[in-house]
Amino acid sequence: MTGIDTRKKFIDKELDRESTTYNTGVRQYDPEGPGFASVDPLWEEFRAWTPYHYAHDNPVGLKDPSGLQVGEKNDNGGGGAISPAGGSVAPEGYWSVRPVFRGLSRFWRNLTGTNSGGGSAATAPGAGVGTSSGSASTASSGTIPPDGGLAERGFRPPPGTRVRPSGIPGEWKVRPTKKGNGVLYSDPKNPGNSVRVMPGKQSSPYPNSQKPYVRWQKDGQALDQNGNPVPKTTPSAHIPLGNFKFGPVLIP
Amino acid sequence: MSKIYLTELVESLEQLADREFQKRSWLAEHGPVISSFSEQVSQAFDDTGLSHAIDNGSLEMEVGADAARALGELDKAISKVDDELPPKELLDHVSMQRVRYLAQCALQKLHA
Count of CB atoms within 10 A of residue A75's CB? 15
Q: What is the mean pLDDT of chain A?
A: 67
Residue A136 is predicted with a pLDDT of 33
Q: How far is CA A230 from CA A68, A89, A179, A236, B35, in A?
A: 45, 51, 23, 7, 14
Q: What is the pLDDT of residues A127-166, one digit of tens each?
A: 333 333 333 333 334 443 455 566 666 666 666 666 788 8
pLDDT: is A25 or A176 the higher one? A176
Chains A–B, number of C-beta pairs less than 8 Å apart: 110
pLDDT: is A38 or B81 the higher one? B81
A220 and B48 within 8 Å at the Cβ level: the answer is: yes
Mean pLDDT value across residues A48-77: 65
Q: Which residues pair with A173 in a beta bridge?
A: A186
Residue A120 is predicted with a pLDDT of 33
* Whether the Cβ atoms of residue A33 and residue A27 lie closer than 8 Å to each other: no
Residue spans of the domains in chain B: they are 6-111
Radius of gyration of chain A from its Cα atoms, rounded to whole angstroms? 19
Residue A78 is predicted with a pLDDT of 39
Largest CA distance in chain B: 41
Least confident of A157-161, A217-221, A235-239, B33-37: A157-161
ipTM above 0.85, yes or no: yes
Residue B21 is predicted with a pLDDT of 95
Percent of chain A with pLDDT over 90: 17
Q: How far is CA A187 from CA A33, A34, A44, A63, A163, in A?
A: 10, 11, 25, 25, 18
Q: Which bin fits B53, alpha (ψ -120 to 50), beta or left (φ > 0)? A: alpha
CA separation for the pair A160, A199 (Å, rounded): 7
Mean pLDDT value across residues A169-188: 90
Q: How far is B48 from chain A (nearest CA, A)?
A: 6
Residue A165 is predicted with a pLDDT of 86
**B7 interfacial to chain A (CB closer than 8 Å):** yes
| Strand-strand pairing, A21-23 and A213-218 | unpaired
Tens digit of pLDDT at every position of chain B (112 positions): 558 999 999 999 999 999 999 999 999 877 788 899 999 999 999 999 999 899 889 999 999 999 999 999 999 999 999 998 999 999 999 999 999 999 999 999 999 8
**B81 interfacial to chain A (CB closer than 8 Å):** yes
The per-residue DSSP string of A11-73 comes to GG-EEETTTTEEE-SSSEE-TTSSBBSS--TTGGGGTTS-TTBSGGG-TTTEE-TTSS--EET
Q: Which residues pair with A176 in a beta bridge?
A: A183
